[in-house]
């Protein structure tokens, strides 16, 4: 998945097979940017994440992501913003160091 275009238009769909035929039904869950819908997917309870499909499109491309691929998108550094800093860092330590530097 090179160069994800996070600001592309996307749709989050619930895909369910029909009970009596080989048809598949799709229900629109949400529309927004790819970035927004990955976040919306993560906010859903795990049992509601299964059966979702995320479709993103640009001018000359279309991409579909199933629930596993959406989780992989969410783990990408571009999505979570991890560039050299740990998320577990104590923010109180940073603010104390800033106050000392300002003095």
pLDDT by position in tens, the chain (length 103): 457 888 999 999 998 877 777 788 889 999 999 999 999 999 999 999 989 999 999 888 899 999 999 999 998 888 876 544 444 555 555 555 555 555 5
| Sheet with 9-17, edge to edge strand ranges | 24-33, 9-17, 52-57, 62-66
User: In 1-103, at which residue ranges do the beta strands (DSSP E only) sit?
Assistant: 9-17, 24-33, 52-57, 62-66
The pTM for the full model equals 0.70
Task: Kindly report the number of other CB atoms within 10 A of residue 58's CB atom.
Answer: 12
Extents of the domains making up the chain:
9-102
Alpha-carbon gap, residue 63 to 61, rounded angstroms: 7
* Residues 6 or more apart whose Cβ sits within 8 Å of residue 82: none
């Amino acid at each position: 998945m090179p160069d994800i275009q996070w600001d592309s238009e996307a749709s989050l769909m619930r895909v369910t097979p029909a009970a009596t035929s080989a048809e598949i039904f799709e229900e629109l869950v949400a529309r927004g940017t790819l970035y927004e819908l990955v976040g919306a997917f993560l906010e859903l309870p795990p049992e509601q994440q299964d059966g979702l499909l995320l479709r993103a499109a640009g001018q000359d491309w279309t991409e579909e992501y199933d629930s596993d691929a959406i989780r992989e998108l969410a783990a990408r550094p571009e999505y979570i913003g991890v560039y050299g800093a740990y998320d577990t860092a104590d923010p109180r330590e940073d603010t104390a160091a800033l106050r000392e530097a300002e003095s």
